[in-house]
Amino acid sequence: MGEWLQVCKLTVLAKQDQLGQVQNFVEKRIQGKLSPRATQHILLAVEEVFINIARYAYPQHHGAVDITCTVGQQTIALLFSDEGIPYNPLLRDKPDISLPAERRAIGGLGIYLTRELMDSMSYRREDGHNILCIEKRITPADGLS
């Protein structure tokens, strides 16, 4: 008895102005599966990951990014695949969130928040692709019917 899954894929140019389209795509797929709070967490993670790719993956030209959304009974998984330069965001330093304002770096929080808000985040380089996967568990608190 395999788990019921719904898999959808979107391909867009890795450009900042595609953010709305990417978030709408994910929001539609996960509609009604999660609490409003968990939905916000996923949409934020989608923004942070997508914008990271839009900024860093293709320094010379605008390449594509595939976003695969897999909705299962227990988890929602989002896989981002691009053919840009090798880049593992998980290797970035964690920001020091205990510093006073004057010493806080402006920025660098996006990937940190994504890691905090998702249940898992993984990266691999495979056949010339950066593959970043984030997952969120569907919990009883999400009121899944």
Total Cβ atoms within 10 A of residue 61:
8
Site for other proteins in 109-138 (CB under 8 A): 109-110, 112-113, 116
Q: Based on CB atoms, which residue is closest to other proteins, 116 or 119?
A: 116
Candidates 13, 116, 25; CA nearest to 78 is 25
62 lies in the site for other proteins, by CB under 8 A: no
28 lies in the site for other proteins, by CB under 8 A: no
Q: Based on CB atoms, which residue is closest to other proteins, 98 or 145?
A: 98
Q: How far is the CB of 49 from other proteins (least distance, A)?
A: 11
Q: How far is the CB of 117 from other proteins (least distance, A)?
A: 8
Torsion, Cα of 53, 28, 121, 40 (10° steps): 100
Q: How far apart, in whole angstroms, are the C-alpha atoms of residue 70 and residue 9?
A: 9
Q: Based on CB atoms, which residue is closest to other proteins, 60 or 98?
A: 98
Q: How far apart, in whole angstroms, are the C-alpha atoms of residue 42 and residue 76?
A: 9
